[in-house]
Chains A and B, each alone.
Chain A
Amino acid sequence: MLTAVAIAVDGLGFAAWLFLSSVGLTLIYGVMRILNIAHGGFYALGAYSSAWAIGLYTQTGSTIALTYLIIPLAALAVGVIAGLLIERGILRFMYGRDEVLMVLVTYAIFLILEDVTKLIWGTGSMVAYQPAYFLGTIEIFGIPYTIYKLCLVGLAIVVGAVLWWGLNRTRIGKLLLVVIEDREISRALGINVTLFFTVTFVIGVTLGALGGAVTAPQISVVPGIGAEIIVMAFAVIVIGGMGSIGGAIIGAIFVGFARALSVHLYPPAELFSIYLVMAVVLAFKPYGLFSLAEGRKI
């Protein structure tokens, strides 16, 4: 019974974290058809910048409460600066190229970002535990949980809801759906596709950085965290079907609970369980649960 509760709560926690860390990847793929390997780099940038900003801020001795504002601001800063630089400076010259080539391009960008992170913040580890520590813990059926982790579940729901609302209920969101459906026709209709791409990329990068930024208080930020997240994020979005926000939610829940199950029942299989879920799903639905039907070819 206790284990069941622990699995449920942990699973939810993992799922929320996974969703936050991978939704940017699926958004960019959905709109731009770019599987952005550099997502891992943005995640790391977000984690470092948030840990660094929190560290600077807490040195002043002011109230911890404001750090909850610093975290999203750090992510936004990364999104706007790095996102704009990379989209305007590199990616825009490559639109319409082969999807595999874009994987290679974003992989190259990822490599560059890895070293940029090291050059800015060094190779040591950074900790910024204050925001997580400040909220204290809560007991659920006798098991202590950090409230911070539960807040992430809330944040994940808010992010998911805002994205859904933005896409389906606003004018801009609906135009974006048109762009996703057919770029050429959108252009002919007078939609500024390039602007949509730029904005989507910045939002996607911000979300990736946010994933890292909210994770930073819970971990020790070290080089290499970006490389880990990209593979996991891919597993999450491919389960639901790449490019679908709803798919990312389902994928995060699948993977989150699989991981919670194995953590509590058979810890050595933790990493394995994630890919096992992915392999099983893909064995039955080769392109994920919500993949779109392919058009007529001949």
Chain B
Amino acid sequence: MSTILETVNLERTFGAVVAASNINIKISAGEILGVIGSNGAGKTTFVNMVTGYLKPSSGKILYRGEDITGKPTRDITRLGICRSFQIPQLFLELPVIDNIIIALTIAKEVKPSLLKPAITPEIVDEAMEILKRFEVAQYAESEVGVLAQGIRKLVDIAMATVNNPDLLFLDEPTSGVSAEEKIQIMDVLMAALKTTKTAVLFIEHDMEIVEKYAPRVAAFYEGTILADGPTGEVLDDPKVREFVIGTEFHRKVEENQVGGSV
């Protein structure tokens, strides 16, 4: 399979803090890759850099062999790299369907017209199609602001997929939702993405989910990649167990304790 994204010695510092360094990663077309690592390990920083939200301090980002380092987010989106967010970034005061229509409108129009109506029956149908694919069609008319986190997450991901990206980053798609919902969300998501042959990189704290959905895993630790390879090998790697999964385990125990005491 052909490589679509390659990063070369990617580094980002905030003042004296090194948020990410020496990040070398290759992603092939259509591949599904899980990313693990504790908070502050540099996962989101990495995604922010590739999608142009943050400028790397040094290093290179190659997309289909082309250097896209330092390009603005909107151009990178147009090239086919999209993302979802840990905290869903939606138009909260607008209904779900309007959120998708806006995304579709932007995806379609290279030169947005000033006088043609934006909302046409065709675009509404298309938006409903997308909502159905993500199984949130029943919320189409609800304002996003009143919906539960799990639904918002799906809408957020749906919006990231409207222009059929070749590479999709999902930043903790299942965070902030209950344990039962996690699997449900991932199932819906993977089914929806299966039809498009999109390469997916998802950041995830839950090892069960990673094992279930990602054939390959990259483990981040203190801004660098500790291990990268087939899921089984990476999760068994002693270093990963000590520095990454260990902390995840503690995190989980803490979460359970908090949950149990209520």
Contact = CB atoms under 8 A, between A and B. Distances in A.
Direct contact of A and B (CB under 8 A): yes
Interface of A: 298
Interface stretch (B81-89, B125-133, B205-213, B232-240): B81-89
Contacts of A298: 44, 48, 53, 85-87, 89, 171
A214 B87 CA distance: 51
A297 to B, nearest CB: 9
Contacts, number: 8
A298 B89 CA distance: 8
Contacts of B87: 298
Interface residues of B, number: 8
Contacts of B53: 298
Nearest to B15: A293
A298 B90 CA distance: 12
Contacts of B171: 298
A298 B48 CA distance: 9
The 8 closest A-B pairs by CB, nearest first: A298-B85, A298-B89, A298-B87, A298-B53, A298-B86, A298-B48, A298-B44, A298-B171
A298 B169 CA distance: 13
Nearest to A296: B44
8 contacts: A298-B44, A298-B48, A298-B53, A298-B85, A298-B86, A298-B87, A298-B89, A298-B171
Interface string B57-87: 0000000000000000000000000000111
Contacts of B48: 298
Contacts of B86: 298
Nearest to B89: A298
A298 B52 CA distance: 13
Interface string B19-30: 000000000000
Given A298-B53, A298-B87, A298-B171, 5 more contacts: A298-B44, A298-B48, A298-B85, A298-B86, A298-B89
Contacts of B44: 298
B202 to A, nearest CB: 16
Nearest to B86: A298
A298 B156 CA distance: 13
Interface string B28-52: 0000000000000000100010000
B259 to A, nearest CB: 22
Nearest to B44: A298
A22 B89 CA distance: 37
A267 B87 CA distance: 54
Nearest to B88: A298
A68 B182 CA distance: 71
A104 to B, nearest CB: 18
B88 to A, nearest CB: 10
Interface string B149-179: 0000000000000000000000100000000
B55 to A, nearest CB: 15
Nearest to B47: A298
B14 to A, nearest CB: 9
Contacts of B85: 298
A114 to B, nearest CB: 34
A77 B64 CA distance: 70
A298 B86 CA distance: 7
B58 to A, nearest CB: 21
A64 B143 CA distance: 66
B145 to A, nearest CB: 15
Nearest to B85: A298
A298 B44 CA distance: 8
A183 to B, nearest CB: 20
A298 B160 CA distance: 15
Nearest to A298: B85
B73 to A, nearest CB: 11
Contacts of B89: 298
Nearest to B87: A298
A296 to B, nearest CB: 9
A198 B115 CA distance: 50
A67 B89 CA distance: 59
A279 to B, nearest CB: 25
B29 to A, nearest CB: 26
Interface string B76-118: 0000000001110100000000000000000000000000000
